[in-house]
Copies of this chain bind each other. A is one copy, B any other.
Amino acid sequence: MTDDGSNDKPGAPKVPNVPVAPNVTLEAIARAAGVSPSTVSRILNGSARVLPAKQQAVEEAIARFNYRPNVLARSLASGRTETIGVLTQAVSSPFYAEWLRGIEEALYEPGFTPIFVSSRWNVAEEKARLEQFIARRVDGIILLHAQLDEPTLTDYSRHAPMLVLGRSVQNSATLAGLPIDNMQGARDATRHLIEQGHREIAFIAGPASHEDAIERLEGYRAALEEAGIGFDADLVEQGDYLETGGAAAMERLMARHPSFSAVFCANDQTAYGARLAMFRRGVRVPDDVSLVGFDDLPTSSYMTPPLTTVRQPTYEIGRLAAQGIVQMIRKQSIALSPIPLTLVTRETTRRITPPVKRGDTRT
C-alpha cells in the first residue's frame, strides 16, 4: 500500500518529499506521545480535561505525523456522521445553485458537511438516493422539491430528520416542510401586468406534474378573475420549465393568438426561451409585448432588457433550511413560516394605457 519506492518511469523528476503520512492511526499517536488511545481521543474531541503536559505531547505528535482522524471509524463508533444529505432534482440547474450555496454556507459553521446528489427528476432515483443517504447514515436530509408522496417521506424520516423545501407537509419532530407561496407570487406578477393596463395576458405554464407549476397557474388565474377579466384557456400554452419549451410555446402562441400584449412565464428559463422566440420574429420587448418571469435567476438581471420577474430568495431559503435541519438534529423545535415571494420590476414590462392622472411614471 504505502510503497513510495522505485519509480520505474524514467525521466520522472523527483517530486519534493512532503511529509503527509498516510494512514496514521490514533493508536500510533498515543504510542508516540506515551499515552493511551482514550486520552488522544479525549483531546481530539475536547470531551474531558487532560494534563497540559500530555496535551502538549499529543498535539505535537499529531502535528508531527500530520494525523487526520478517520471519519468513517469515528462515525461508526459514535453514530454521528456530521453529514447532511441534500437531494436536488438536478445539481446543474441554475435554479438550484443558490440554494446549494445557502445550504453549504450555513452548514459550515455548525460543522456539518453537505452531500449533494440529484435525482434527475426521476421518482425512482429520488427514492434510491434517499436510501443511499440512509445507508450512509447521514444525520439529516434536505429535499429540494421532493416528488415522493408524504407517507413515503414520513417513513424515511424515521432514519433521519428531513426538511422538504418548496412543499408543505404534516410537520412532526422528524419531518418538516418549508412551503413557498407560488400562488401569491404568480398573482402579484399578474396583478402587476393588469395594473399596467394589460388585458390579454398569455401564460406559458410549467410541467403539470409539478406542484409549484400548478400553483403558479392558479395564481395567474386568480389575479385574472379578481380583476374581472376572466380566465381564457386559449391564452395558456404548455411549457416545460426549460428554455426550449418556452421558445416553442411562444411560437405556438404567436401563431395562434397574436393579439396578447403580455406574457407571463412559469419560470425564468421559460421566459428566456420566449424572449428568444420573440426576438426571432422581430417582436420587441417590452414595446410590443411585456414579459414576466418567475424565480429571478442570477442572470435574469442581465438580460436585455433586464427581466421583470418574481424573486425567490433562494440563498436565504437555503440558509434557513440548513439551520432548520441542524435544529431538528439537535431535537430543538423549529417554526417555519411560508416564504413570501416578491415581484422585481425591471424592464420587460410596460404600461399600455395612458398613465392615470398626472402620472409620475417611474418604473
Contacts and interface: CB of A to CB of B under 8 A. Distances in A.
Interface in A28-60: none
Nearest to A304: B279
A361 interface: no
B71 A137 contact: yes
Interface in A126-171: 131-132, 134-137, 151-152, 154-156, 158-159, 170
A156 B298 CA distance: 35
Contacts of A91: 91, 97, 100-101, 104, 116
A156 B116 CA distance: 23
A29 to B, nearest CB: 14
Contact of A276 (B13, B16, B304): B304
A296 interface: no
A98 B136 CA distance: 26
Contact of A69 (B13, B135, B304): B135
A187 interface: no
A340 interface: no
A92 B81 contact: no
Nearest to A175: B15
A21 to B, nearest CB: 9
A272 interface: yes
Nearest to A99: B92
Nearest to A81: B72
A324 interface: no
A248 interface: no
Contacts of A116: 91, 115-116
A25 interface: no
A113 to B, nearest CB: 7
Contacts of A337: none
A158 B101 contact: no
Counting chain B CB atoms within 10 Å of each CB, the highest count among A72, A131, A135, A155 belongs to A72
A79 B117 CA distance: 23
Contact of A15 (B81, B135, B170): B170
Contacts of A305: 279
A97 B118 CA distance: 12
B72 A302 contact: no
A275 to B, nearest CB: 6
Given A93-B97, A117-B113, A304 B302 contact: no
A352 interface: no
B92 A101 contact: yes
Interface string A288-310: 00000000001100111110000
Contacts of A135: 68-71
B302 A276 contact: yes
B172 A20 contact: no
Contacts of A299: 94, 243, 272, 299
A81 B72 CA distance: 9
A90 B97 CA distance: 9
28 contacts: A12-B170, A15-B172, A16-B151, A16-B154, A16-B155, A20-B158, A22-B158, A70-B137, A71-B135, A71-B137, A72-B72, A72-B136, A72-B137, A73-B76, A91-B97, A91-B100, A91-B104, A92-B97, A92-B98, A94-B94, A97-B97, A101-B118, A104-B118, A113-B115, A116-B116, A272-B302, A273-B302, A276-B302
